Amino acid sequence: MRAKVSVIAILTTLALWAGQVGSAVGEGSSSDDLKKAQEKVKSAIVSAKADITETKKEVSTAAGKVKTATSEVKTATGEVKSAATKLAESKSALKLARAKLANLQEKLATAQTQKAEQDAALVDAQAQLEVANAQLQAAIEDVARQQTLLGVAARTVFQQHTDLTRLTFAFTSQDASELSNQLQWSDTIFSSTTAQLERLELARENQVRAQADADAAAVAAAAQAQAAAEKLTEVEGLTAQAAEQQAQVEALVAENKKLKKAAEKELAAADKTLKKAKNSLASAEDELEASKAQYDALQEQEKKIQKELEEAIAKEAAEAAAKAKEGNTEEWSTASSTGFIYPVNAKPGSPFGMRYHPILHYTRMHWGQDFGAKCGAPLYAMADGKVVQTIPTSKSHGLGNWTTINYGKVNGKNIISGYAHQSKIIVKPGQFVKQGEVVGYVGTTGLSTGCHLHLQIYENGNRVNPMKYLK
């Protein structure tokens, strides 16, 4: 930005110098004007060199920022790639975890089916156990009953099964038919006892078998119940592990997504910074080229002024020789005997010297004295003099509407004043003015932040502090 501003300032100066040089040549003025113009060009060349140096620093700084931003983009790109890799890995792990979970869930479904079958078998076994227990209880009761019957029969046989019994039957029988019946009954008792004994043995065998069946059914039912419980515990444990693993992987995926998003945001910011740095570098490089181009233009201007200066010096030497030959040695001076007056009814503001420019935003030389006055306030000729230049804003650029008045020799030095930023100029080049005569009005044209007069004083072409002549 500084180089561009310098270009504007230099173009303004060139326009001013061109008018001055043109006036000097057109009026057959002295070589002083050319020397002043030459000094101004040399000063501008020094300023242009300083601008080039400063712009080179800006280019170097911008290049450093580009390098830093490029490194940040590279780092951010690497972080994005790393985050993307981690995200892909976690997604792959999640896929495997889900597959494992599906397999475990399938095994769980199978185990639950098997458990249902085992539960059904257990119910059946328990039913069989109940039947076996019932049969066992019936067998036990049958054995007890058979034992009771067998005891009764045994006592009866023991009491009645003797030869005396048969004799008793013989003596007590009324006839042969009764005797026959009693003897048959005795044989029947013995036969019943034997049969009862056989039934008892069979009942005991049934009891043993029923007990064995009941014990086997109980063992089988217990085994089925234990197997189902163990299977269920195993599958439930695996399911819990798989669910925990899935939760961990899903958390990892979520975290990696967050990291990837953050990395992408950082990359976008780095890209933006890099783009801005590149734009700054391009701008600085453009300004450097502009400064170099203007420097070259100033060099050419200096050569031209030097040539005109040599011609003017030769011409003035010839004119001086002619005047001396005629005996005319009077010097022109139009400055009032009372000295200079203020060019505007206002108090001095920003002084002559180095200052931070309110628009350009950097420290540079302030070549004049400002007076804070309202727009439209009249501007006065500081002394009797001759208007040298009136330059509009379109040609003066930063100075706005610009007027210079030559007051002639004062204490052996040629004094010229310059009024900048006028809202209106009411004099013309070549016009003579009297001290206190209105020559224009306060404005804010050109490079200005508000209504004011920027006054410059040239002493033999060199800008000096205006307050030196406004005590």
Task: Choose one of 283, 310, 330: the last residue of a domain.
Answer: 330
Report the candidate in 23, 1, 3, 2 with the shortest Cα–Cα distance to residue 295: 3
pLDDT at 238: 80
Residue 420 belongs to what domain range? 334-471
Among 300, 315, 330, the domain boundary falls at 330
For the record, the structure tokens of 310 come out as 């040599």
Cβ–Cβ under 8 Å, residues 395 and 14: no
Residues 152 and 206 both lie in one domain: yes
Q: Which residues of the chain have pLDDT under 50?
A: 1-9, 15-16, 18-29, 169, 306, 309-310, 312-314, 316-317, 320-321, 324, 328-334, 336-337, 357, 359-360
- 326 and 273, same domain (yes or no): yes
Q: What share of the chain is helix, strand, coil (3-state, %, to 5)?
A: 70, 15, 15
Residue 200 and residue 87 share a domain:
yes
Do 339 and 319 belong to one domain?
no
**Of 357, 380, 381, 384, which is closest to residue 368 (Cα–Cα)?**
357
Return the sign of the alpha-carbon dihedral for residues 296, 300, 303, 305: negative
Amino acid at 71: S
Per-residue pLDDT reduced to its tens digit, 184-237: 655 665 566 677 677 778 887 888 888 888 888 888 878 878 887 887 888 788
pLDDT of residue 432: 96
Helix (H, G, I), strand (E, B) or coil at 437: coil
Q: Are residues 366 and 256 in the same domain?
A: no
Residues 294 and 433 in one domain: no
Report, in angstroms and rounded to the nearest whole number, the Rg of the chain calculated over CA atoms. Answer: 65
351 plus 286 within the same structural domain: no
pTM of the model: 0.37
Q: How confident is the model at residue 369, as a pLDDT? A: 93
259 plus 339 within the same structural domain: no
CATH of the domain at 341: 2.70.70.10
* Residue 369 and residue 239 share a domain: no
Looking at the fold, whether 338 and 288 belong to one and the same domain comes out as: no
How many percent of the chain have pLDDT more than 70?
A: 68
Q: Are residues 201 and 124 in the same domain?
A: yes
Same domain, 251 and 372: no
Report the distance separating Cα 333 and Cα 470, nearest Å: 19
From 288, 311, 330, give the residue that closes a domain. 330
Residue 97 DSSP SS3: helix
Average pLDDT, the chain: 76
What pLDDT was estimated at residue 112?
82
Q: What is the reported pLDDT for 453? A: 96
